[in-house]
Structure 1
């Protein structure tokens, strides 16, 4: 399934499901978890069927007894969930509407939980809140034939899509269960989690783990389970369940436990993590700092901050969980980068370790529930062991880098994320990714321009005109007139009536054919425009990188990035706000790109084709009039 096909499927499934909710009595929060549960069931059944076929094909056959029945153990070895009969999608889809479907689904979920300890009390069992008609209609939506043979990764993407949409619609009030993909992917690309222990002590719905798995699968062409072990902790019960179900849908294993990270550290991973990644709740107050577990917490090597804000508790946790070569990436309130008093003292100590690797400023509107800007911090404990690297920190200001999704939401495109990754790689002394990215942009731009030119050289309008002319000739109007000339007076009236009827039919036919031809021409022009737009897009992306890093090596760029040392940070009162260092980008004069002249030519050709389409329609109408139709 292509990306465009998947996007269309996601949009269609979401619209159908959301329309049903809009006409129900349920809130987005009440609706979200059970609907995600149906996606889980649908995916689990697909994997169950596929695994069963694979298992049966490999079972040994006894001469008398034949093949033994497939059992639960077989499914464990096939990385699939064994489904009892009552929890199989085929069974559910074939239920008569007289069945109490809400109670049935609750029991189906319970039967799966009984088979797997890791899913105990995880799956949704609130289906009695739903009207039976609503549930049956949802089942029909997710019975879409396109879902019959899709892979687990496609279901994972659909699950993520629905999580994203529920977050945007206000489900799970506060949006704490979901970190926008742009921020998650920024973290993943910069810390590159590709081995060992990966920990998120505020894991929400486990989005960090899912994107890590995608990163490993795409970059290393192998399963994430062969490279990393996931550990998570989450305060909210519902979010913990979402996380476990999310991992199950993606076929991933994770040890996720419920607990308040301020007072509980269930996994005891201090000093053992290769990667830590998180989006903790910002500016939390009310942490009981009088508790012995907080005052003597080994995760606070730089001391207990005196104010009520918990930001610098989290920041220290992330540092302390890392082993001597570990990397951390986490989202944080922008205010934390310049916080004063005891927090400044802690920040100073962090800077002096040499572990602060990259500081990224993010603009407004990247979250679904708040519009404030944020920052992303990155630690690299390996820097502490290298005197040269320990004295360098990359300040990256991305407040002016974004795509406007809507008036209330911004994000990063895939190319933005690739550019960010390439810049950080240059800072680390590796220009391979930069060169590959630039080459790919140029190749994409060239290919799209080639496709546009092929379409333009197709002389589509001329072929279309020939088609219409052939159609008119095929109507044999002259033969009709000959009949009139040779007919007797008595036959003339009859023939005129017949020809009039035929003319009306021909008129309608020709009008429809004309409309079809014009529609085809519009589709043709749209295809050219799409190719040109893509050519322009990738050319601009290539130009953006080349202009800022013309030699293909790292250099400080005003308004975007700067490498600073610890003395410079000290001079700036230990601020870690990127904008304070990178300065302001110069105002650029309008400049012509190499492709502008060609773009003007193509746009002119498009204009001429549009005019030709109008002329074509007028010529057809004239021909019809001349023929007396």
Structure 2
């Protein structure tokens, strides 16, 4: 998590870029604007990462101890010979030097310095690149993206090569290139990757606000993504999101692993997304971070064209569209995913849940954001599915969230956590898990968080830690070793916040999973006044208020009578 000084720096950068970009592209709507800006951010990001690796290689190649590729007879000791410089330049263009360091390969015509220099030329004239005549800034950018796709087959069909078709002044596009060039990369504690990654996520959030609700899709608040990732701890194994959007869960998983000294290479990323535009953005989001991924051959419906039919993931995370209707067109009623009951056509909540569960490995876990109705609804067989999930002992934890978390919906939400193995074992994080069979943890987080502005609520780092720590302490086998202070915390119920309930208790509540039913009310602080004395005082005060109320009512009647009105 960033500190106050870093936050100030990043917020200043956000304001500068968003305000300036809006002035440059006033004629575009959000759906077009998104691709214009994020496509250029993508080019800048991969190019800068490439340049940093290039500088590292240059330093190595100029060190005589590492000049294994040079002919000693060509080396004059000063590093200035023509043959020497030519060989250095040739080596710097070897793709393997970049890919071995998990750095995206950027062809010459797509490098930011080249684009920035040439965009001023094509505004007034034309240039020739590899026998192709470029006559506009839009053509220059499209060609750069085309070269990237050719050199990186995994991105084929991903990049949005439509800059030539934009109905805007070419000079404005050139100014936008210059604006993105001003993103500062020199900061005491933030890396260039952190800075540009933050810019990318910020723009995604702003576009979600600008576009509003679309087909039930909502931009997942970063704090909620962080909470699910912190609770599941995806250190090692396969991570899957069947409704991945722009890939926020994958980005946060990478950050979590990095912050906890894990290895990114220990995690495999799988995702699926039906919206072509969002599918493209997710792939770009992974590439700019050097995350390897498998998003299937194409954007497609998770229900009718499952891109990963044989996948069994260790961690499954998603924020699918809430209460999605008519989701089952073309889906077989006997689909093997519906192991706990056929979900109703009018609501896909339990279809998402069962799809995720079907793709969860035997020791895997899942975290799913759903509308609150999923915890109690008995409509069209939903109650029967929920009952089957509970009796199969798959539900591990339920978290009720506060309102006003989403930018474009007021639908109250909750998080379901399920696991296929509640038995004692060692988690991917290394924590020793106790046997939780027959238990469900309920957390009521509705009172947590703070208002970040007039309409939106958010969680603080402490809020996230309180919820995730509570879950982990409940899961963990008690350990009082001084060598493992974190594991020495023992879980205990907290009235109004959390409670561990047995399946028998849940059955008594007709299989309703709303945390408020189980955690009860928070105990009020004892002020030392005996209950009898307190009730006498309250009764006396109430009597005085009734007398005063009657006096005021009589006075109002008299005043109205004086004006010629009667009640």
State how far apart, in whole Å, the 2-side matches of 1:177 and 1:34 are.
Answer: 21
Distance 2:368 2:141 in 1: 38
Work out whether 1:232 is the aligned partner of 2:271: yes
CA contact (8 A) 2:239 2:313 kept: yes
Secondary structure of 2:451's match? strand
Q: CA deviation at 1:307?
A: 4.6
Alignment partner, residue 462 of structure 1: none
Change (3 A) 1:347 1:578: same
**Aligned residue in 1 for 2:70:** 61
2: CA distance, partners of 1:2 / 1:181 = 14
Query: Where in structure 2 are the equivalents of 1:526-545 lying within 5 Å?
Result: none
Specify whether residues 590 and 93 from structure 1 end up closer, same or farther in structure 2 by C-alpha distance, changes over 3 A only.
Answer: farther
Q: Residues 328 and 345 of structure 2 are in contact (CA less than 8 Å); yes or no, is this contact kept in structure 1?
A: no
- State which of 467, 490, 496 in structure 2 corresponds to 1:553: 490
Range moving further from structure 2, 39-48 or 154-163: 154-163
The reply to whether residue 245 of structure 1 matches residue 281 of structure 2 is no
Secondary structure class of the residue paired with 1:118: helix
Query: Which residue matches 1:77?
Result: 100
Pairing 1:254–2:293 present: yes
* Alignment pair present for 1:342 and 2:378: no
| Partner residue in 1 for 2:349 | 311
287, 290, 310: which is aligned to 2:327?
287
The answer (yes or no) to whether the contact 2:235–2:262 under 8 Å persists in 1 is no
Q: Within 1, Cα distance between the matches of 2:184 and 2:13?
A: 11
Q: 2:41 aligns with which of 39, 42, 45?
A: 39
The residue correspondences of 1:181-220 to structure 2 (distance < 5 A) are: 181-219=222-260
Cα distance in 2 between the residues matched to 1:432 and 1:177: 41
Cα deviation for residue 3 of structure 1 reads 4.2
Length-normalised TM-score, structure 1: 0.70
Q: Distance in 1 between matches of 2:2 and 2:10?
A: 12
Residue aligned with 2:368, SS: strand
Instruction: Please name the residue that 2:549 is paired with.
Output: none
Partner of residue 101, structure 1: 137
Aligned to 1:357: 396
Structure 1 position 28, deviation (Å): 2.1
Deviations 1:419-455 (A, max 9, x none): 111111221136789x99999xxxxxxxxxxxxxxxx
Q: Report the equivalent of 1:116.
A: 152
Partner SS, residue 389 of structure 2 = helix
What SS does structure 2 have at the residue aligned with 1:213?
helix
Deviations 1:454-477 (A, max 9, x none): xxxxxxxxxxxxxxxxxxxxxxxx
**1:173 to partner: Cα distance:** 4.2
In structure 2, C-alpha distance between the alignment counterparts of 1:437 and 1:163, rounded to whole Å? 40
> Separation in 1 of the partners of 2:11 and 2:174?
20
**Once structures 1 and 2 are overlaid, which stretch shifts more, 42-51 or 76-85?**
76-85
Kindly state the Cα deviation for residue 297 of structure 1 after the two structures are TM-superposed: 1.7
Shift of 1:561: 0.7
Paired with 1:171 and 1:89, the residues of 2 have a C-alpha distance of 32
- Rounded to whole Å, the distance in 1 between the matches of 2:115 and 2:435 is 63
State the SS of the aligned residue for 2:219. coil
Residues 6 and 160 of structure 1: CA distance in aligned 2, closer, same or farther (over 3 Å): farther
- Calculate the TM-score normalised by the size of structure 2: 0.77
Distance change (3 Å), C-alpha of 1:432 and 1:48: farther
Give the Cα separation in 2 of the matches to 1:430 and 1:590.
Answer: 37
Contact residue 422 and residue 437 of structure 1 kept, 8 A: no
> 1:217-249 CA distances to partner (integer Å, 9 max, x unpaired)?
111x1331x211000000100010010000011
SS in structure 2 opposite 1:142?
Answer: helix
CA shift, 1:343, in A, is: 1.2
Shift in CA distance, 9/103, structure 1 to aligned 2, threshold 3 Å: farther
Distance 1:392 1:367 in 2: 31
Equivalence for 1:11: 11
Q: Any conservation in 1 of the 2:323–2:348 contact (CA below 8 Å)?
A: yes
Give the secondary-structure state (helix, strand or coil) at the position aligned to 1:394: strand
Q: How many residues align?
A: 474
Contact 2:377 2:383 in 1 (8 A): yes
2:498 matches 1:578: no
The secondary structure found in structure 2 opposite 1:197 is: strand
**In structure 2, what is the Cα distance between the partners aligned to 1:175 and 1:154?**
31
**Cα distance 1:44–1:388, how it changes in 2: closer, same or farther (>3 A)?**
closer
Q: CA deviation at 1:90?
A: 0.9
Whole-angstrom CA distance in 1 between matches of 2:174 and 2:483:
50
Task: Report 1:100-179 matches (<5 A).
Answer: 100-128=136-164, 129=166, 130-144=168-182, 146-147=184-185, 150-170=191-211, 173=214, 176=217, 178-179=219-220
1:471 counterpart residue number: none
Displacement of 1:589 in angstroms is: 6.8
Alpha-carbon contact 1:199-1:231 (below 8 Å) kept: yes
Q: Distance in 1 between matches of 2:288 and 2:216?
A: 21
Q: Contact 1:34/1:125 (CA < 8 Å) preserved in 2?
A: no
Q: CA deviation at 1:315?
A: 1.1
Q: Is the 8 A contact 1:195 1:228 kept in 2?
A: yes
- How many Å separate the matches in 2 of 1:552 and 1:80? 41
Q: Secondary structure at the residue paired with 1:234?
A: coil
- Checking the alignment, whether the CA contact within 8 Å between 1:177 and 1:205 is kept in structure 2 is no
Richer in helix (by share): 1
Q: 8 Å contact 1:175–1:369 — kept in the other structure?
A: no
